[in-house]
Each structure stands twice: as structure tokens, then as C-alpha cells.
Structure 1
Amino acid sequence: MHTILLCGGSGQRLWPLSGPVRSKMFLKLLPAPGGGTESMIERVCRQLENSSLSPSALFVAHEDQTSLVRRYTGNRYEVLGEPHKRGTFTAAALAAVYLYASRKAKPEDTICVAPADMYADDGFFQCFHQFTDILSASQAELVLLGTRPAHPSDQYGYILPEKPGGNTAYSPVLSFEEKPDSSKAGELIRSGALWNCGVFAFRLGFMLSHLEQMGLPAEPAAFTALYPGFPVRSFDKEIAERTRKAAVLRHEGEWRDLGSWDTLTARLQQTVTGPGGIWGNSGNTHIVNDLKLPMIVIGVPDIVAVGSPDGILIAGKQEANAIKDIVHPPSAEAGYGETAWGHYMVLDRTGNEGEVVLTVKLFLLPGHEMPEMPCLHSGKHWVILSGHGEVVLNGLAQAARSGDSFTVNGGDLHGIRAFAAMELLEIRRDDRTEEVAVYSS
């Protein structure tokens, strides 16, 4: 079996901590087994390894985030880049044709598609090992993973199975319902419906046949070349709801989509993350603060208070999802971003008479580097705040320690290597009225 992990999402529901530059799966907030915290993607990688699924795992991410995925997964997995975000079906199809063309998978092999940012117990991943047998025994084209609903939610899809019978671990699927209102969700639950966990298993040949019917190529380069013209297609709509014969495997343990502040804060170890405190009648309130300034909540229950360089959110937990309908700043103006070499924080933007001056604080991980590249701005100035490494300027390497400064002119080739963890200030000037993105991932 081959496991495809999809790293998608726009990062809207967990704003301001997540966004187009930093997806929710990279947020290091969840309690880790040995103490400290871990991100969703780190948790999933650990569970893949514990379930003996690591050797077959392939991650799919937008090409701007492939290096970031490699960093968070410890370079232990293959990562496939998408040129554009075109939905879960398109991402799964790209991975399928890649596995087929590279001869890593045969048409009769089982393919499992799952989100990379799910939250579940270890038993959830053990269920994956049953997919091949269920596909054979049920003669289904598609096997899904479902779990018992905790409440009538309008945030999840539902799978309505036939009444279970006999000794089989699976049930044939009668129908699907995508994010019904709470009233309809209650009716579905009373009828025995399951939450759709977004995990799908099928034979590779099934996907190849579907692509052939759509007139799409089964060769990665040709398929990728068509990406700009693809509409956004979800796997549920394109495959699951059109499949003639599907089966569902019930997972009885824990599963949650931590895609809202309400569900995410319920999994945190403490009510206050970062500088700040909660006092008075403030039951079920959480602070998640990525800023250095303290955030104080007094006498306000059932809210989430979130601070980051991209903004501040104060919202009732049940209403916080409305943030996805609010227009956010474009990613080029993000105040925080993660990269393959570390992360950065925008401290100040000043614009006058067509010139933009940007002040950024950069944090480089030990043993990482910003590769040499031409300066795309009018110029920039680096001041090393802490740590040590070397700056490479037009091919000449120079030692870089706390207190050192370097001037980079427009067009200069420049890069930096961190021998130990480094912090530096970058002050860049740009004559263009439209500045480029702060840093790519």
C-alpha cells in the first residue's frame, strides 16, 4: 500500500497564527509525548512510523512549501510539489500518476489518500492496513474511513452506511452528505451516519481509469503542464459521490479536524500559550500569543485571544470560524513566515515617494543556510544580532558574528550560513511601489 499525505488548506480558519505563508499543520502547539510541543505534521509523521506506514508515505504540497514540509518531516519522506492549489482530487491524481510513472506502484496496488493535518489516535493509522483486504472482500471501488460523530456538526461531511451485518469490519455506503446544517446533521446521526475522516483507499488502476475517462494524461510532466487550466476539484465530489460501489470502515477511537480555534484549544495542555494571563470569571478561555507583548484577559469566558505579527483575534469560540469570511492581507504583506532555513518576522514597513523600506528580523536554524541569490531590491543591510556563521557576498565568504554588519547592493549575489542558531536584522530598500514577497518558503 502507498500512503499519500495531502498538505493543502489556505490557513484561514486559524488566522492570525496560520495563513498562506504558514499552514496550520506547522503550528507547534500540540503536546508531545516526551514533553514540549509538536506540530500536526510532526505528530502525523510519528504516528506513520509507529504504524509501519513510513516506507510508503508520499507528501504532496504546493511547490512553495515543499522545502518547509521536508524540514518539518526531517527529510525522511519524499515530497511532491504542485504548481498550483487545485483541490484534493487534483493533488491525489498527481501523486497517483507520479507513483505509476516512476514504477513505484502498479495498477493493482492500493493507494491511500489522507490529509497531513489530521488529529487521531494511533489506532486510526492501524486501520490503514485493512484497506487492501476490504477492497478485495467487498469488491468496492473505494473504501473510506468514518468515525462516530461527537455532535451534530455543520463542519464535517457525513457517510451514511448500510446497517452493519455479519462479522465484517466494514459496511457498504448508501450515500454521502457534505457539511449539512445542524438540523440535517442530527437526522443523519440518528440514522447511523459517520463523520467522513477524509481518508480514501482505492486501487491505482481505478484512478488511472478515471483519468483516462476525463481525457487526462497518466504522465506527471504532461499532467502538471495542465495545472493552470484545472478547476478546483475535491476528492469527495469528483470520486466519492460518483463511485458506484463504496465501503466504509468504522474507526471507534479518537479523530478530530483541528481546523477551528474551538477544536484546537481543546487539545492544548495549558490555557495560556505565550506571554499573558487569564483572571476572573474567564472559564473556557484560551490565550495563544506569538507576540512578545503580554496579553491579559479578565472576566471574559468562552473566548480565544490570539496574537501574532499578522494580527490579533479576539472571538467567542463558537463564532471564531467566521474569520474565514473576512478578507485578510495578501501573503506578500505577511508579518511572519516560515522557510526551509528558519523563520522571519516583519518589524516595520515604511513607504514614501515610491520607496519602501522593510525591516525584518531573521531567525536561522543551526546548520541551515539561505542559498546565494541575486539581490532583487535597491539594496539591503544585515546586522548580526546573535549566533555565528558566514555571509557569502559575490562569492566571497566572510565570518559573521554578533555585532557584524554587511551591505548588499542591488544585483549582488548573497547568502548566509548558520553554524549556530543566528538572529539578524535585515533593512531592505525597494524603489518599486509593489514589493516582492518577504521570503519564499
Structure 2
Amino acid sequence: MKIIILSGCSGWRLWPLSNESRSKQFLKLLNRDDGSKESMAQRIVRQIRETINPNDDSLFFVTTESQADSIRNQIGPNVNIISEPFRRDTFPAIAMACEYLTFEKKVDKNETIIVLPIDTHADDEFYKQIRIIEALLESEPKCIALIGTKPTYPSEKYGYIVPDSDGINVKEYTEKPSLEKAVNLIKIGSYWNTGVVAFKLGYMLEKLEDYYSSAEIDSLESFLLEFNKLPAKSFDYEILEKAGNMKFIVYEGKWKDLGTWNTLTEEMDYLNSGYVRQGEECENTHVINELSIPILVLGAKDMVVAASPDGILVSDKHKSSYIKPYVQQLDARPMHEERKWGEYKVLDYNQYGDEMKSLTKHLTVKAGKHISYQRHFLRDEIWTIVDGRGELLIDGEVRTVERGDVAYIKKGQKHALKASQDEDLQFIEVQIGAELIEEDIERFNWNWNP
């Protein structure tokens, strides 16, 4: 069995804590039994390992390159990542996963493939159902298996499984129906689809031949040439609504899709995070503050307030599920990103009368890690070390730096920074130039341990 976790979602509905590179699945907002916090990505991997216990080569993440560093930081440096060239929804993502397993991992076509969305929130018993649908496919390999759960209200956001009279076969599948149709589907005994999909690898490869000939695909590289031709649709619309042979089992325990602030705050057993003060008259209001300035909330009821370097959200909890189109109108760069070496936050941005600009960042380089040896052509940079120790590299010359040291890096100069092995290194970076963009970079190799 190979387990595919879909992690390509951008998570606009959890803005401003989530952005294009720091998606909702990486926010450490969920409490563990020991009182520590974990992200959706960490939680689902932990639960899969504790209940199913797959070996490390059986678990794969499908995502875009912009999220790969966050996955490695949270799950581990050796995690299997299937990197999409660009985001095109879940049908192309699953198609790529199947071709990757076929050509790169040489997985047998009789292997069972389990696909899970990363934003599932359920108890451990839910993941034990995976073994049941795996057994279901052994008896009937030419089908797709799902896990359904009983709806608690009519929703336009989920897929609905209409059961056949035997309670095992799927008579019909409807993805995200209108509210009126959702009401009718519940009346006839339909179930929500929990997002778990299981199939034999060979069976799905046969399905994909409707989109391209297997004779034309003899490597992952040849598949990638066809990738942008695949319909940019969800797997539910493109495959499940059209599939003729599907089976399902019913899960009766706790299950939830943590796609919005409303559903996420229901699973948070604390009201405030960060520098926050709420008045006693506030009711059912969650405040999450990632800024260093205080947030004071008075008289709020059923509200969510969230603040990060990307912006500030103040919303009724129910209305927060409709945030996506508004956020997509905000033409702003991500102000907080995780990288394989650490993370950065944008502190300030200014444009001056002579069209010059300045951008100020706070960067943390993890112990023993380093940022790449690089140069820029459009900007100068000033680095001020504020905590920790490390090695500064400029044009081939290495020197030790610590708190209080300052380096002025002119455009065109090659530069890098490495933290010491025993502590993180933090520094402030001020960029100055007429154009300040992340793409203004050329990277070079450097051996830190000659």
C-alpha cells in the first residue's frame, strides 16, 4: 500500500496566517495531548504512523515546489515529495502521483493506492478504516473505494455518496451540489465523502488512458509534457462523478474538514494566541496574533480575529468561510515564508520619491543550516546580526559573525550565511533598490566543509 497525501492547497480561507507558500496545513494551531501544538501536516502523518504504521517509503506528499521546504521542515528532510510543476487541482495531482510511482518508484500495478486530503481532522479510528478499504480492493480490484460519513447538515462544500440498496456499492456521486439538492440527497440517505480515495494503481492508469495514450508516456518526463493538457479539475468532478464502479464504507466517528476559520476554531481549545487581551463580555471569539504589537478585543461575539505580517482579519465566524474571493483581490507578496534553512518575516516596505524602495526582513537560520551562496543585480543589502553566531561568506572570504556585527553587501557581490551548529542565527536584512523581487537571485555552489 502506498499513501498519497494531497498538500497542494493554498488555504486562502485561513488568511492572513496562510499564504501562497505558507499554506494552512503548516500552521501549528492544533493542540496535542501533551500541550504542545502541531500543524495539520504533522497531525495526519503522526496519526497515519500510529494507526497504520507504513514504512517511510510508502508515504508521499504531492505538492508544489513552493511548499516543499515547509513539508521537509515539519515532517523530516527525507520525506517523499512529488513536486507538481504548477498547481492544477486534484485530478492532475493524482495523475502525476500515479505516473511518479510507476516510473520513478517502479511500483507494481497491483499495489493499492490510498489518497488523503491533508486538511482532514478525525480521530485515530478513522485512519484504521484505510485497512478495511484496502481489503475491499483485494476482492474487487477494478473499482474505486471511498469512506463516507453521515451528514450533519446540508452543505454545498462536500461531495455526496448515494448508496445502492446493498449499502456497499455507490449508486451515484454528486460533488458540491446546490443547497436545495444537498437537502434532497440527505433525505434519500446519502453520505458525505470524507475525501479518502482508494484504487489499484493499474486500474487508475487505465482510466488515465482516456486522456493520453500509455504508448506516448514512457517516463515521468514525457508525462510532464502532457501535464498542462490535463483538465484543471478536482478528482471528484473528473473521475468520481463519472466512475461506474465504486464501493464505500461508512465511518461513524469524528470527522471534519478544517478548511475554514469556523471549523478550525471549533478544534482549538484556547481562545487567544500571542499578545492578546479580550474583555470579559466577549463570547466565542478566537484571536490569533503573530505580530509583536498587542490586539485588544471588546464586546465581540462569534468572531475570529487573526493578525500576521500578511494582514489582519476581523470576521464573523460563519462569514469567514467566504473569505477566498476577497483575499484573491489583494495583490500582495507573501510576508512570511518557511524555507529549508529556516524562515523569514517581512517587517517593513517603503517607496521613496526617487523611485527607490526599501524592504526590511527578520530572518532566522536554523542551527547548522545556511542560506545559499547567491548574488543580486538590482539591490544592495545590509545585514545586522541580532542573535546567535555563524559564518559570513562574501566573495569567497569567510569570517565569524555574532550579535551586533553588520555587513554591507553591494549588488553583484556573492554572499551567504551559515548558523553555528549549536544555536539559531537571527539577523535583520534591509534591501535597497529600484526593484525588490525574490526572482532577483543567482545561486552558486560553496563547500562549507572543505
Q: TM-score, normalised by structure 1?
A: 0.93
Q: How far apart in 1 are the matches of 2:118 and 2:246? A: 23
Which amino acid is 1:212 matched to? E
Corresponding residue SS for 1:226: helix
Closer/same/farther in 2, CA of residues 230 and 146 from structure 1, 3 Å limit: same
Q: How far apart in 1 are the matches of 2:47 and 2:132? A: 16
In terms of mean alpha carbon deviation, does 217-226 or 415-424 score higher? 217-226
Q: Is contact 1:211-1:218 (8 Å) kept? A: no
Q: Is contact 2:25-2:39 (8 Å) kept? A: yes
Aligned to 2:122: 120
In terms of mean alpha carbon deviation, does 121-130 or 303-312 score higher? 121-130
What does 1:192-207 correspond to in 2, within 5 Å? 192-207=189-204
CA drift of 1:54 comes to 4.4
* Moved >4 Å (runs of 4+): 437-440
CA drift of 1:228 comes to 4.0
In terms of mean alpha carbon deviation, does 397-406 or 321-330 score higher? 321-330
Aligned to 2:155: 153
CA drift of 1:427 comes to 0.6
Aligned to 2:330: 329
In terms of mean alpha carbon deviation, does 18-27 or 150-159 score higher? 150-159
Which amino acid is 2:427 matched to? L
Q: How far apart in 2 are the matches of 1:282 and 1:438? A: 47
Query: How large is the RMSD of aligned CA atoms in angstroms?
Result: 2.0
Q: Is contact 1:66-1:80 (8 Å) kept? A: no
- Structure 1 residue ranges without an equivalent (≥5): 166-170
Closer/same/farther in 2, CA of residues 62 and 39 from structure 1, 3 Å limit: same
Which amino acid is 2:162 matched to? L
Aligned to 1:424: 427
Closer/same/farther in 2, CA of residues 162 and 49 from structure 1, 3 Å limit: same
CA drift of 1:375 comes to 2.5
CA drift of 1:13 comes to 0.6
Equivalent residue for 1:173, pick from 164, 170, 175: 170
Closer/same/farther in 2, CA of residues 310 and 187 from structure 1, 3 Å limit: same
CA drift of 1:297 comes to 1.5
Q: How far apart in 1 are the matches of 2:441 and 2:36? A: 28
Aligned to 2:179: 182
CA drift of 1:368 comes to 2.1
CA drift of 1:37 comes to 0.4
What does 1:18-33 correspond to in 2, within 5 Å? 18-33=18-33
Closer/same/farther in 2, CA of residues 76 and 269 from structure 1, 3 Å limit: farther
Corresponding residue SS for 1:391: strand
Q: How far apart in 2 are the matches of 1:9 and 1:139? A: 29
Q: TM-score, normalised by structure 2?
A: 0.91
In terms of mean alpha carbon deviation, does 383-392 or 336-345 score higher? 336-345
Closer/same/farther in 2, CA of residues 298 and 366 from structure 1, 3 Å limit: same
Q: Is contact 2:22-2:70 (8 Å) kept? A: no
CA drift of 1:7 comes to 0.7
What does 1:107-146 correspond to in 2, within 5 Å? 107-138=109-140, 140-146=142-148
CA deviation map 1:7-34 (0-9, x unaligned): 1112211111111121000000000232
Aligned length: 433
CA drift of 1:48 comes to 1.8
Corresponding residue SS for 1:213: coil
Q: How far apart in 2 are the matches of 1:404 and 1:226? A: 51
Aligned to 2:395: 394
CA drift of 1:116 comes to 2.2
Aligned to 2:446: none
CA drift of 1:76 comes to 4.3
Aligned to 1:168: none
CA deviation map 1:299-340 (0-9, x unaligned): 121111111111111111111122101134345x22222222
In terms of mean alpha carbon deviation, does 154-163 or 197-206 score higher? 154-163
Q: Is contact 2:25-2:40 (8 Å) kept? A: yes
Q: Is contact 1:84-1:227 (8 Å) kept? A: no
CA drift of 1:422 comes to 1.8
